[in-house]
Amino acid sequence: MSDEKPGQTRISIRRMKDLPSAHLLGGGTALCAGCGGLLSLHELYDVLGEKSVFVNAAGCMTLLSAYPFTPFRGSWLYTSMASAPAGAQGVRDALDILMENKRIAPDEDLSAVVLSGDGAAYGMGLSATSSAIDRGLDFLYLCYDNEGYGNTGQQSSPATPYAARTATNAGSRGYPGLKKDLFAIWAAHRPAYAATVIGAEPLDLARKVEKAKRLKGPRLLLALAPCPPGWDFDPKDAVEIGRLAVRTGVWPLKEYEDGRVTHTRIPNPRLPVEEYLKTQGRFAHLFRPARNEEVLKEIQQRLDAYWSAVT
């Protein structure tokens, strides 16, 4: 451990070397090797700090705290799949009441962080999330989005991208739907802040966490989480696949603040989407036994249309 306490210092992150060098989240958890979600959680926790309570929705990360161990230096509350934002509401309200009545000192305060997978964030927990934003709840919401119900073997979720093979879409077409735009759903609620991030771009992520940490109100950090077992790739490639998600434009890095959406990275040159798709077994049926030109073109065109609207 260095003397630096990342969560307690008001750091201003400009370059890679400004990133905290000490890591707060312990290792040795039950999560998979190469987990992109855990990577983004590590990076977030280093900047956010230990004066936090993670309110968890059912998902892969529920296994982080398994009695009697936890990798967190701060607090943890598991709730259910659908109601983590309500758990954050109860903790937040109670801490406010205790501080108002001077039963605890202000330095005992904690930031409430919902920790949710895409299954809860895009689906079952969306109603509780929407309502927490309506109420202006002062909380941070980290969604690790591995684009499927990963903990149960990667069945399709509302976050699954078009044409991806899942445990429930094992045929040659893959998932027939389109990935739901959770960022836009959040933005439509006019929250204090919303941003997309990815662990493979730690500087961008850290800057957004730092910004979110300084704001009050509902704040989203939506992290694409490359998932070795769910997406079918070697764990050593997790970071590279994350980078490709950004460089092909599949995962736009952006933020919402004061009613405006800003892209924090515009890939230039933008690589063909194939470069990303071919790294993962879940898209292998688009290349073998024969290239599915029609679907590949469709995916590329959809991306091109998105980026042509970004100025």
Contacts with another protein by CB under 8 A lie at 50-51, 53, 55, 62-63, 65-67, 70, 72-80, 82-91, 93-98, 101, 103-104, 107-110, 127-128, 130-131, 134-135
Nearer to another protein, 124 or 273 (CB): 124
Beta strand segments in 133-190, E: 139-145
What's the chain's length in residues? Answer: 311
Where do the H-state alpha helices sit in 160-264? 182-188, 202-214, 238-247
Distance in Å, CB of 273 to another protein, minimum: 38
Q: Between the CA atoms of 110, 58, 249 and 170, what dihedral angle is there, to the nearest 10 degrees?
A: 170
Query: Residue 12: which residues within 8 A CB-CB, separation 6 or more?
Result: 18, 210
* Of 14 and 102, CB closest to another protein: 102
Q: Which is nearer to another protein, 96 or 298 (CB)?
A: 96
To another protein, the closest distance from the beta carbon of 99 in angstroms equals 11
Adjacent-strand bridge partners of 195: 221, 255
Residue placing its CB nearer to another protein in the complex, 86 or 197: 86
Distance CA 87, CA 113 (A): 10
Comparing CB distances to another protein, the nearer of 95 and 227 is 95
CB nearer another protein, residue 44 or residue 81: 81
- Nearest to 207, CA basis, from 24, 6, 12, 3: 12
CB 173, min distance to another protein, A: 34
Q: How far is the CB of 116 from another protein (least distance, A)?
A: 13
Encoded tokens for 11: 């750091």
As given in the structure block, the two tokens for residue 173 are 């077409």
Of 275, 274, 267, nearest to 251 by C-alpha is: 267
Closest distance to another protein from the beta carbon of 101 (Å): 8
CB of 297 to another protein, least distance (A): 42
